Structure 1
Amino acid sequence: MNTAKIRIFALLLALPVALFGCGNPSTANSVESEPKETERGVPVEVQKVARGTVRASIQASAILEAEEETDVIARVSGIVEEILVEEGDFVEQGQALVRLESSRYRYSRDQIAAELRGVTQELTRMRQLAGQQMVSTEQVERLQSRHDALSAQLQIAELDLAEAVIRAPISGHIAERFVKTGNMIQAYQQKALFHIVNDTTLRATVNLPEHALANIEAEQEADLELQGVGQNNHISAQVTRVSTVVDATSGTFRVVLSIPNSEQKLRAGMFTRVNLHYAQKHDVVRIPHHALVNIDQASYVFIANENKAQRLAITTGIRENGWIEVTEGLDTGAALIVTGQNTLRNDALLEVIEL
């Protein structure tokens, strides 16, 4: 009886162990049957490396000025009799602008001319008498001097009469009119009668830093960006003069640009931004400036190679707004990473988005 009880007790102890052992294979199989999660790459944007033009530029700002402008003044005194032009009119050099009352100048000229005719006749007679030794040489010389003086006075009188009509010293537009009919005008007075601006050619003067002096020379090209001229606000200009003197106070030197304005769409006084191009290269490998990664004063880019990041050391050349020339280390056609590269490491898995 005791032996039977012992056998039953041992059987009961062995039963849970057997049941537990039978359950392990199914549990293991269920764990192994779960799929593993796929590792995701770093999302980046790429674009193909291509060739193009890169220009090195210096930026500055300037105010457009007329190449020629002047104040018109009177060279003789008189009362304004007639005004022939108004503000906004275009005048040619030498065109009449104002007529002054000129009768006094005309009478003065006629008086001198009459006196000169009498002296000329007397001088002719005296020379004939001198040839017959009837008058002295000194008498002829004194009369000759009188003749020469009157000739000079007549020329001045004729000049005064001519300048009673005030003419334009340059071609251009009448920017301002200061004179009115009936005004008394004094010769060479400081107050101007008109202000004339020749805006067929404009200029812009910029002050550049001293380190740019070696890169700037005459006939270099520049782009100007203007405000208030509509959609066509980019125009071309050319360097005409470069100062060789550097201002000791500001550390800058002056550069003068010439801007053609034959259609007169531009006006003196306009504000402009200047991009002065001192170097230009065509058909070179170039990259967007934001694709460049600088590490320890060295330049790198990342490219996508079979969905993995590859870091390349490059050598850069000249730079333009938005573009950088690559002289070594990068070939055209490579998938250049332009977004997301700043946090990448070499051989990092990528999720590529092509632009």
Structure 2
Amino acid sequence: MTIGLAGLVVSSCADDANGRDAHQSRDMASPVEVVKIERGPIATYEAASGRIEAIHRAPVFARVSEICKEVRVIEGQRIKVNDTLALLEDAEYRYQRDRELATREKARQGTQDAQVQRDKAHADHDRIKRLIEQSGEGIYSKNDLADAKLALDKAEIALKVAGEELKRTEATCAEAELRFQNTVIRSPIAGVVVQVDVELFDLVKVDQKLFDIAELDALEIEVSVPESSAGSIRAVPASTSGAPDISHAQAALLYVAAWPSARFLGYVDTVAPIVDRERGMVDVKLRVIQPEALVATQERYEALLAQFPPPERRVIEASAQEFATNENGMLRPGMWVNASIVKDVKPDTLLIPSGCVVNGAIYVVVPPAKSDGEQKPKEGGRGRETASGPTVRRIDILSQRGVRNDKFTELIPKGDDGAMLKAGARVVIRGQDFLRDGSGVKIVQAPGEGAAPQKPNGQTSGVQK
């Protein structure tokens, strides 16, 4: 009897100790934040940088020499084709034009008179000739016919001279009109004024450069990539019509210092056929797509947008919407650009944020058992499911990861541990520092349902080659 009571006391003490350990285990659980493993696209990039240049630039020169009486634009101003840039004094050229117009009108009247005289001479000659043929030399003689022929020849010569004079005066009048029109300086293209080289009351000389206009709809960036990456960069192919086939172009993500949180779209246009021997680099030209063009004809660029993972694509589209109606949001020549050229795209793969990986390993959350609380050991006793709360299992992914960049890491499940790497599994993204295999955890935040939570301002992290 005494032995039985002692056994009950020992058993009761053991149960109390186990309860205290379980309670302490729950209290000591490490707080962590988690994300879910999800399926999605991932891309690898080639980083490059350069300045935006205008493909089409139009210097505007003076065609006449005169005093500048008005400048209507400033540097940085957007303009359309034939917009007036400046006005020169035109009084003298107006007088010359009006004088030539009067001379042309006089010559035109002389030509009309000469035409009337020629028609009359031609009718007299035909009438005399017809009467002689019908009645002989009764009313008119052959001498009269010869005189009529001579008068006709003179009239035709006079008409020809008058016609030549009219052509000369018309040419002179057109020249005077052109000089008068050249006192108004107009833009030959639509774009932005990048340079103004004339001021009010300046004496402008013929062939003096006054303005420099750059077209904003055709911009490019010349960058250089290492020789080792040249094989993964391709020029845009040509379509059957000879125009660039953008649907098969290689996309590029563009960052500018003026708007750090925005992202813009571009694509590889040309790739140099040779390698710079001194630098070991290949020159590549990227075409820039303005936000306004992307919003207006997004379907044209759908193949380019599809090359980016959803977060990057969303930022590109949001930036385009924001800057499309903002005149100051245009990408401009001279801006410094950091570009990320898409080298390879995997459209459907397992992804986790790269921040989940610490020292080549990740911690996968093992949920508590749904049964009566009995411990159910996993393989090798690691990452137990317990009734007291979730634990974590440390998985080395050095041999189970594929494409990676600063934002995402691709998972390629292998072996027994790989069975836990599936869509929907939760992975620790913050709080790994104090974890070990089998540690109890307390999930304090589970940001979003995506593979990578968005940053507060929509920014995406830099890329890794």
Scaled to the shorter chain, the TM-score interval is 0.5 to 0.7
1:122 aligns with 2:110: yes
The equivalent of 1:238 in structure 2 is 266
What are structure 2's unaligned runs of at least 5 residues?
1-29, 123-150, 238-245, 292-322, 367-377, 384-392, 444-465
Q: Once the 2 structures are TM-superposed, how far is the Cα of residue 161 of structure 1 from its aligned partner?
A: 0.7
Query: What is the TM-score when the length of structure 1 is the normalising length?
Result: 0.66
- Give CA-to-partner distance per residue, 1:274-299, whole Å, 9 cap, x none: 222344445521245574989xxxxx
What are structure 1's unaligned runs of at least 5 residues?
1-42, 295-299, 342-347
Q: 1:1-355 residue pairs with structure 2 within 5 A?
A: 49-66=37-54, 69-87=57-75, 89-131=77-119, 132-133=121-122, 134-136=151-153, 137-189=156-208, 192-197=209-214, 203-209=220-226, 210-214=230-234, 218=246, 220-229=250-259, 233-239=261-267, 242-249=269-276, 250-260=281-291, 262=324, 263=326, 264-265=328-329, 267-289=332-354, 291=357, 306-307=382-383, 317-327=402-412, 329=414, 330=418, 331-332=421-422, 351=439
Q: Give the structure with higher Rg (CA).
A: 1
Give secondary structure in 2 for the equivalent of 1:243. Answer: strand
- Give CA-to-partner distance per residue, 1:281-335, whole Å, 9 cap, x none: 45521245574989xxxxx989786337666785655433332323553431567
Distance 1:82 1:216 in 2: 45
Q: Is the 8 A contact 1:126 1:135 kept in 2?
A: no
Greater percentage in strand: 1
Structure 1 residues 328 and 148, CA gap change in structure 2 (3 angstroms)? farther
Give secondary structure in 2 for the equivalent of 1:255. Answer: strand
Q: Is the 8 A contact 2:266 2:286 kept in 1?
A: no
What's the RMSD between the two structures over aligned residues? 4.0
- Give CA-to-partner distance per residue, 1:125-157, whole Å, 9 cap, x none: 222333324242444333322222221221121
Structure 1 residues 287 and 155, CA gap change in structure 2 (3 angstroms)? same
Structure 1 residues 140 and 319, CA gap change in structure 2 (3 angstroms)? farther
Which residue identity is paired with 2:254? L
State percent identity of aligned pairs.
21
- Give CA-to-partner distance per residue, 1:167-190, whole Å, 9 cap, x none: 23334454443222322212222x
Structure 1 residues 138 and 164, CA gap change in structure 2 (3 angstroms)? same
Structure 1 residues 325 and 105, CA gap change in structure 2 (3 angstroms)? same
Structure 1 residues 226 and 353, CA gap change in structure 2 (3 angstroms)? farther
Query: What is the TM-score when the length of structure 2 is the normalising length?
Result: 0.52
Q: Is the 8 A contact 1:106 1:161 kept in 2?
A: yes
Q: Is the 8 A contact 2:218 2:287 kept in 1?
A: no
